[in-house]
Amino acid sequence: MNHEALFGVWALQSANFEFQDGGGAIDIYGPGPTGRAIFAPEFRMIVLITANGRKSPETPEETAAAFGSMLAYSGVFRFSEPGTIVTDVDISWFPAWVGTQQVRHVDVEGDHLTIRSDPQAHPAFDQRVGVAWLRWTRDASTAPD
């Protein structure tokens, strides 16, 4: 994969999590999630994903639910091998990720990006292990020349 093909702004199309214990797959953030991923030529990335239909919380329980219906993290990334990036996380919605290295497998075909995680425990699903599949399309205004 040409490294430059990853650079730019990407809009989320779908987010699925396939459980490794035979529990099938689910839409992580329900139908129609929203999100952006930005991969800069300076090798800094940020991703923000939210469930569709979120509302402003009015109670502590609703506030907790709002934070449970999103994902956000940022850090410096590098290509460890073709099609694999490693991000050194320096800020995250999930504090346990700060200081960790998040490995993702990326595939860019034209204006489509697929990101796959290694099997990992997911904090929203009682630490059940699975693989996340995120599918994105390029924001046309940021396409490389």
Q: pLDDT (tens digit, 9 = 90+) per residue, 127-140?
A: 899 999 999 999 87
**Residue 110, helix vs strand vs coil:** coil
Question: How many percent of the chain have pLDDT more than 90?
Answer: 72
**pTM for this predicted structure:** 0.88
Q: State pLDDT tens for residues 44-89.
A: 999 999 999 888 999 999 888 888 899 999 999 999 998 999 999 9
- pLDDT greater than 60 at residue 145: no
Going by C-alpha positions, the residue among 129, 130, 134, 131 that lies closest to residue 106 is 134
Tokens 């390029």 sit on residue? 138
C-alpha distances out from residue 31 to 53, 66, 128, Å:
10, 16, 21
Q: Contact at 8 Å (CB) between 87 and 71?
A: no
Q: Mean pLDDT in the chain?
A: 92
- Token pair in block for residue 46: 């940020």
- pLDDT greater than 80 at residue 141: no
Q: Contact at 8 Å (CB) between 102 and 87?
A: yes
In one-letter notation, the amino acid at residue 115 is: I
